[in-house]
């Protein structure tokens, strides 16, 4: 692998997500990348595929871009000489990440499992709470609607982790969300606890 590929991908997503503050941004992509590489260190996998899929997993997110067939990700990789087979494997991993498209279905490759786990880890815990309200505020959601999102999706993610490493990491993040929701309910139920 070209030593300049990953730094180039980092710079690409920095530009791609410039000005985005709704939770699917450069910071999210970098956290997913770091989590994915941490999980990849415990799994037998193609670390290049994991790294590229993690960095580029939101480069064509339907909530942000009107692209088809991972056009932004493919254009970046083609422009940096990534072999066609690797591009296809990266795109397969990217396509398996989205909860809205895949629910709790497991990806067909270990690389996809790792990136899906990393993305879902960033959706829970303290960062997940912050991202939920950032996204909700950007899209005009009420606090109650954002709280509903925890019950509809986020509280389900812990039990859908694919790797042992991610399952272990998810435990404390999930527990923090449950504590937050309990405190939120106590503070909004009229008793002022």
Q: What is the pLDDT of residues 33-50, one digit of tens each?
A: 999 999 999 999 999 999
Is residue 29 in a domain?
yes
Is residue 193 in a domain?
no
Is residue 102 in a domain?
yes
Is residue 82 in a domain?
yes
Q: So what's the pLDDT on residue 193?
A: 47
What are the backbone dihedrals phi and psi of residue 147, each rounded to the nearest 5 degrees, phi first?
Answer: -65, -40
Domain that holds residue 107: 5-188
Burial 39-58 (b: 16+ CB within 10 A, else e): bbeebebbbbbbbbbbbbbb
**What's the total number of domains in the chain?**
1
The pLDDT tens digits for 49-83 are 999 999 999 999 887 888 999 999 999 999 999 99
User: Residue 93 is part of a domain; what is its CATH number?
Assistant: 1.10.3210.50
Q: How confident is the model at residue 191 (pLDDT cuts 50, 70, 90)?
A: low
Q: How far apart are CA 177 and CA 38, in angstroms?
A: 22
Q: How far apart are CA 62 and CA 59, in angstroms?
A: 9
């Amino acid at each position: 692998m070209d030593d300049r590929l990953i730094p180039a991908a980092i710079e690409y997503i920095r530009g791609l997500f410039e000005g985005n503050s709704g939770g699917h941004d450069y910071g999210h992509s970098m956290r997913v990348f770091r989590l994915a590489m941490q999980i990849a260190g415990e799994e037998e996998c193609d670390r290049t595929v994991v790294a590229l899929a993690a960095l580029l997993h939101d480069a064509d997110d339907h909530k942000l871009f009107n692209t088809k067939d991972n056009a932004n990700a493919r254009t970046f990789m083609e422009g940096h000489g990534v072999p066609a087979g690797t591009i296809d494997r990266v795109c397969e991993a990217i396509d398996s990440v989205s909860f809205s498209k895949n629910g709790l279905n497991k990806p067909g490759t270990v690389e996809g499992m790792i990136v899906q786990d990393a993305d879902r880890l960033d959706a829970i815990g303290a960062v997940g709470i912050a991202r939920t309200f950032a996204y909700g505020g950007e899209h005009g959601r009420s606090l109650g609607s954002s709280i509903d999102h925890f019950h509809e999706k986020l509280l389900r993610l812990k039990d859908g982790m694919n790797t042992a490493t991610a399952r272990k990491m998810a435990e404390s993040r999930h527990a923090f969300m449950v504590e937050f929701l309990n405190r939120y309910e106590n503070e909004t139920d009229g008793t002022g606890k």
